[in-house]
């Protein structure tokens, strides 16, 4: 499931935040469909540990449903 930091992007510009989504995507399939990546940045979440990771644009990524929060 996506967590904080999920945004709606249109024409290369962030239009606003979106609700969390559930997905069931193979990590191998996702990484083989990466179209572009940003410079890695330090990030942290409420339910995970700090990490350094890039933002990624992934083609053919399928979300299964929207959460209620």
* pTM score over 0.85: no
Residue 1 has pLDDT above 60, yes or no: no
Torsion of CA 11, 6, 50, 38, to 10 degrees: -10
Mean pLDDT over 58-67 rounds to 79
Encode pLDDT of 20-54 as tens digits. 777 888 889 999 999 999 999 987 766 667 888 89
Q: Where are the domains of the chain?
A: 7-66
Phi and psi based region of residue 9 (left: phi greater than 0; alpha: psi -120 to 50; beta: remaining): beta
């Amino acid at each position: 499931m996506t967590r904080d930091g999920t945004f709606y992007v249109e024409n290369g510009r962030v239009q606003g935040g979106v609700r969390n989504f559930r997905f069931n995507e193979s990590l191998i399939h996702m990484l083989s469909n990466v179209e572009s990546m940003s410079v890695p940045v330090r990030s942290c979440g409420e339910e995970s540990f700090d990490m350094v990771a890039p933002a990624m644009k992934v083609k053919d990524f399928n979300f299964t449903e929207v959460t209620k929060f």
